[in-house]
Structure 1
């Protein structure tokens, strides 16, 4: 798609491009994006003011007390009418009142003829408008200003050129005028102008001073290390009388000393005592040795002016496409940041609307996460860990699998084979759980119970569970022998209660670990979603501070409910009306009897269709063997097996019941969908009942946020203006 700001550069003259740059600078766009520019820098005694006068015909002051205290933009352009336009561009940090005060200054000068005579008066008026101290005996006002004096010279004889003059660098303060702080202030101002890659640095250097002592070249090197955008201007050549000194200046121009890519120019300007001065007469000295040995394109104001116009056009053409893109990008970034701040929140109504909309969006994402409606927001694609109900389901299946594998203290035995009673079923469950675990690893493998320190008193970090031990029949025998009474051939219910409590001793730590993982997943979801919806850290922290205690309280309620369910199962006398218990018990007894009779069994003999005998897969046992087998079993052996079979049958029923209850009551009701879920704390209803002072604390804009919002609006306004300038 074509850039809407892209002009047809082939049909734009250099002057038209340069006018756009001046418009951008006038609209303060230069404080946001660096603009192509020529900046004149040098010491106060370098001849900078005389050079500017030669280039622009403007008589800049030469003494220290009247020297420039602010940047001055001088623009000359060709026009059919002669006129001078003078305005003041406010500095980047100027308050609105000061901007209005500066905008009111627009002196009327009909032509350039009397401008030279009026210039000292214009400077005084500009100083007054900017608040510059003009009376050396007064302490009122500032010494230097960030405002820019813009002087635009138009006329049929004007060549297009724009240069910016910045205050001259000085090393010693002037009593009553400047201070040591002003020395650093001016240096910082100079650095601010020359640091940008789109700036051509005109380093003004007096020819009669050793170049090694000129600080401006060192300063320029800091920001233009290759010397590719620094042009040296050697002034006061008429004061260089010694041949060795003249040779040193010539060597600079010829590139034999301290070379610059843009090179050096030699210019003679009007001196303090030159009343009748003309550039043409002054430059006749370049016809004499040793200056006549230098390239004529490097001598005189006219040659310098032509080169500066050329350089400014080159850098403007080169940087113009980048400038358009940079303005567009900054505008987009500012608009995005301003949108992220949300609506202004100054009144109670604004604050309640803002927080209510935030809570509504939060609950919409909660609903989507609990209903697996993940296509509703891109965040569910970006972060799989926020797929809340999927994480919970995966964790619950793993909890169920681990519970079946390790939830019992001792492994149950099959009455007939002395192996695990559910070998086939458990292997099937294990295979399915392993498959699900691999598929769901990305959802919960990174659960760190130490991720949120504020959950320290709620979650349990003891997740290690040992494998079940063996020897369960020996254990049931010992239980019986230690607790049997006078009952003939039976055992008391207390033995079964004791056996079940010991066999289920891992239930509490395994359940705590499961609930803890669910809590961490929920807490992470809330933290990330709130961070996504509310990028303002102050507001986010205040929301958390307001709901934190209630959220933790609800986590604890869920954990307490889970532990209550553990207590119900383990601390009460085993009981169930579930027919599954009797089915299991009869199956266990039947298998045990069958295994006892199997050694005395024989295959059933049958005849096929031809009358031939063959052995059937059915086994036959004689009744005498049945009677003999049942009589041969001792009382203790009979009771220990009966305890085992009843415990196994009940454990299977209680385990399934318990896992379902933990999920339904502790997880689903307490943590996910119930009215007291922690996910239901931050809601619109919660916002509605907040008092005005609470709203102000939570979402009232801080001074920093208000300042940032105002700054973004100002910048967006400037950049939108820049877009219009660059488009047309």
Structure 2
């Protein structure tokens, strides 16, 4: 171990405080002890003196010398738990003995330990009854009556606390921990050996702990594992004090010289140095410490500094150290308790409001529903500035739906018709151009939107989405575009020839119905893909919005499970509505009162006549100064004279179909958006967005409410632990401030 100098180790402030510490700091020491009463040491380290050493190092005898309590010294009755001994000066004598549960104690074990409480009138009574009290404490901790046999554990994390008050007591608090052993004994295992070592590590690791390393003088110090263990956490040796016991057993001159070298700092020095003591042994009876200390008047011990030999000198130094470390650490301790309270409150807030009973559960879920509805309204209104959560693309609901709809509309106009319509407009030769038209701005917009849809992966589903939405989801299908199927005129002619009857230049209206059903056969596939994309977008919005307003994973999982069936039911209703619109449009008798149909049909008929007259027209530029085509009125009357009935009927069906198809397409796309999507999915009273509302929460049965947001066992435990921790730390803060 490192040391700052090679001179005999003396605590630098000992001479300053030696005469005043016992009189001026009882309040400070009492505060630290009160914190121990609250078991605050498991949350923040407290200033303390911890006695550690190997088994048979003389720890028990040392504690008896320091505190006057006769700890059992037999090997079979070794210390099997930590013991905190606090002595305080008071006008009246009293002794109180309790057990503080270990950090991993169950609630049942804690309650069992609360029953153990002993009060005695004096320290003398404690000394007379201590062996029996220790046996009762071991039983309460669940330890075996004897280490070598019986049921129960051998060692415990619980702490036996002994508080002694009286007019002759000194101000001192020490903690004794089980002795380290290297080989298993009867009744112990390697796990016990490891547990004891970890228990010792837990007590000595903090900077606020003074380590009293008990070392037998008659054994080579190099064999004492406790110094190696202390060095792991106190590399500079600044808070390790060596206590050499069994001075009366060091008989050889060489061994005595080695002990003197330790005391005088010439060998394995420690900043706090070493003390040499002689404790009462089994054969010493009731010999007073002063009589035992007579050995230090003999050579070679009489050459050692008086402040480094004997129990009285050690007790005085321990009192000084305890006060000094308490004074030094007090401001940091106060700050740490404050920080711990803030940390615990933040962690408790992360659990959300308490949900122990029906009132708390309904209030909790109602607030989540309100926040969800607020987010849904903002998403439908594109009010994305209201909350930074809308930086997530999934929450920009109406924007995503509008983009999907615009792509749907463009794809519908591009590929919804099964066959190519003929363009009957004549193109004058002088108006013909071989140059390609410039790319349409609207088409570029649609291409950008398609890219956004690809990035959103609306046609790729997670396993959960596939399981939850099932048959509602439709993978994108590639329609057989019109140029693969030929012209609609060819299909009309073929169908007419296969189904005509006796007619005189007329056709059955059913021919138009059949033609329209054929021409609109892609409507269902394109609309199903559109509805699937909108449903996925809405489903992802709801899931993301719930994650943003309900951070509790378990509660959100249960809530999602509770509303999922209703969500799917409403999605399906919207999809069914879209299918109904498809069915109505495609398979009903075509009919409309829209004037645009008549205008389009008249225009088509006019273009047919214009096409027939165009070869007979002559150019004329005289009347208006621009190119005009002039026709003879008699040519108009004879224009269609040469056409067969079949040709005229093909053209008539084609032109009626084209005029009606374009009108029906616009109407259908609008209806799908406004009714199936807008009303059923977004804004209507049966929208999936209206599944999770405050009204729904108010109507939940208590059992359902408990299942959804009732706290899990782990959450309840965390909340209980944090609440108690905050309560204990708050009490500790009051103790420190008063």
Could you tell me the TM-score, scaled by structure 1's length?
Answer: 0.75
Structure 2 residue aligned with 1:524 = 540
Q: Would the alpha carbon gap of residues 161 and 590 (structure 1) be closer, same or farther in structure 2, given more than 3 Å must change? A: farther
Q: What's the CA shift for 1:559?
A: 1.8
Q: What's the CA shift for 1:318?
A: 7.6
CA distance in 2, matches of 1:157, 1:596: 132
Deviations 1:360-403 (A, max 9, x none): 55555545544556677x47436442343443333323322332
1:344 and 2:356 correspond: yes
Structure 1 residue aligned with 2:115 = 101
Structure 2 residue aligned with 1:658 = 668
Q: What's the CA shift for 1:447?
A: 7.2
Deviations 1:536-575 (A, max 9, x none): 5555444444443333233222222212222222233433
After alignment, is 311-320 or 458-467 more displaced? 311-320
Q: What's the CA shift for 1:135?
A: 6.3
Structure 2 residue aligned with 1:5 = none
Which aligned pairs between 1:157-196 and structure 2 lie closer than 5 A?
A: 162-170=173-181, 183=193, 186-194=196-204, 196=206
Structure 2 residue aligned with 1:397 = 406
Whether contact under 8 Å (1:71, 1:165) holds in the other structure is yes
CA distance in 1, matches of 2:666, 2:488: 24
1:452 and 2:469 correspond: no
Deviations 1:520-551 (A, max 9, x none): 23333333444555555555444444443333
CA distance in 1, matches of 2:603, 2:214: 106
1:567 and 2:550 correspond: no
Structure 2 residue aligned with 1:604 = 621
SS at match of 2:84: strand
CA distance in 2, matches of 1:244, 1:446: 87
Whether contact under 8 Å (2:356, 2:710) holds in the other structure is no
Deviations 1:638-690 (A, max 9, x none): 76665554443323212221122212322233323434333334445555665
1:512 and 2:522 correspond: no
Equivalenced residues, count: 690
Whether contact under 8 Å (2:419, 2:485) holds in the other structure is yes
Q: Would the alpha carbon gap of residues 87 and 601 (structure 1) be closer, same or farther in structure 2, given more than 3 Å must change? A: farther
Whether contact under 8 Å (2:69, 2:130) holds in the other structure is no
Structure 2 residue aligned with 1:332 = 345
Structure 1 residue aligned with 2:726 = 716
CA distance in 2, matches of 1:603, 1:297: 136
Q: What's the CA shift for 1:107?
A: 3.6
Which aligned pairs between 1:264-663 and structure 2 lie closer than 5 A?
A: 265=274, 267-272=276-281, 273=283, 275-278=287-290, 281=294, 301=314, 305=318, 308-309=321-322, 312-313=325-326, 316=329, 319-320=332-333, 323-337=336-350, 339-340=352-353, 342-345=354-357, 359=369, 362-363=372-373, 365-372=375-382, 378=387, 380-381=389-390, 383-410=392-419, 414-416=423-425, 427-433=440-446, 444=456, 448-450=460-462, 451-465=464-478, 468-470=481-483, 474-481=487-494, 483-484=496-497, 485=500, 493-532=509-548, 534=550, 537-590=553-606, 602=619, 604-605=621-622, 616-617=625-626, 619-623=628-632, 627=636, 630=639, 644-663=654-673
Whether contact under 8 Å (2:35, 2:732) holds in the other structure is yes
CA distance in 2, matches of 1:399, 1:248: 95
CA distance in 2, matches of 1:517, 1:250: 88
Q: Would the alpha carbon gap of residues 425 and 401 (structure 1) be closer, same or farther in structure 2, given more than 3 Å must change? A: farther
Whether contact under 8 Å (1:409, 1:503) holds in the other structure is yes
After alignment, is 492-501 or 714-723 more displaced? 492-501
Q: What's the CA shift for 1:166?
A: 1.5
Whether contact under 8 Å (2:217, 2:246) holds in the other structure is yes
Structure 2 residue aligned with 1:235 = 244
Q: Would the alpha carbon gap of residues 233 and 201 (structure 1) be closer, same or farther in structure 2, given more than 3 Å must change? A: same
In structure 2, which of residues 29, 34, 38 is the aligned counterpart of residue 27 of structure 1? 38
Structure 1 residue aligned with 2:83 = 72
SS at match of 1:465: coil
SS at match of 2:483: coil
Q: What's the CA shift for 1:138?
A: 10
SS at match of 1:652: helix
In structure 1, which of residues 204, 218, 222 is the aligned counterpart of residue 214 of structure 2? 204
CA distance in 1, matches of 2:128, 2:215: 25
CA distance in 2, matches of 1:165, 1:661: 83
Q: What's the CA shift for 1:75?
A: 4.5
SS at match of 1:169: coil
1:671 and 2:685 correspond: no
Structure 2 residue aligned with 1:9 = none
SS at match of 1:616: coil
CA distance in 1, matches of 2:340, 2:61: 36
Deviations 1:317-372 (A, max 9, x none): 584365134322333135314544x3312x6x666666566555555554554455
In structure 2, which of residues 51, 58, 66 is the aligned counterpart of residue 40 of structure 1? 51
Deviations 1:90-148 (A, max 9, x none): 3153657546534x544444xxxxx3674353564465367457965996987655443
After alignment, is 570-579 or 703-712 more displaced? 703-712
Whether contact under 8 Å (2:421, 2:488) holds in the other structure is no
Structure 1 residue aligned with 2:18 = none
CA distance in 1, matches of 2:412, 2:70: 94
RMSD of aligned Cα (Å): 5.1
SS at match of 2:56: coil
After alignment, is 622-631 or 60-69 more displaced? 622-631
Q: Would the alpha carbon gap of residues 286 and 647 (structure 1) be closer, same or farther in structure 2, given more than 3 Å must change? A: farther
CA distance in 1, matches of 2:417, 2:205: 74
Structure 2 residue aligned with 1:148 = 159
Deviations 1:563-596 (A, max 9, x none): 2222222233433222222333344555666677
Deviations 1:286-325 (A, max 9, x none): 9669x979x9899983796378448734872584365134
Whether contact under 8 Å (1:388, 1:522) holds in the other structure is yes
CA distance in 2, matches of 1:640, 1:321: 97
Q: Would the alpha carbon gap of residues 370 and 248 (structure 1) be closer, same or farther in structure 2, given more than 3 Å must change? A: farther
1:224 and 2:238 correspond: no
Deviations 1:170-203 (A, max 9, x none): 466776x878775555445334434556545444
Gaps of 5+ in 2: 1-23
Deviations 1:10-55 (A, max 9, x none): xxx9876665443322212223334444432222212223444555
Gaps of 5+ in 1: 1-12, 110-114, 607-614
SS at match of 1:470: helix
SS at match of 1:164: strand
Deviations 1:468-520 (A, max 9, x none): 44378745235424534576777655554444334333322222222222222
Structure 2 residue aligned with 1:6 = none
Could you tell me the TM-score, scaled by structure 2's length?
Answer: 0.75
Whether contact under 8 Å (2:238, 2:272) holds in the other structure is no
Whether contact under 8 Å (2:389, 2:548) holds in the other structure is no
After alignment, is 247-256 or 223-232 more displaced? 247-256
Whether contact under 8 Å (2:344, 2:726) holds in the other structure is yes
CA distance in 2, matches of 1:618, 1:661: 44
CA distance in 1, matches of 2:524, 2:163: 85
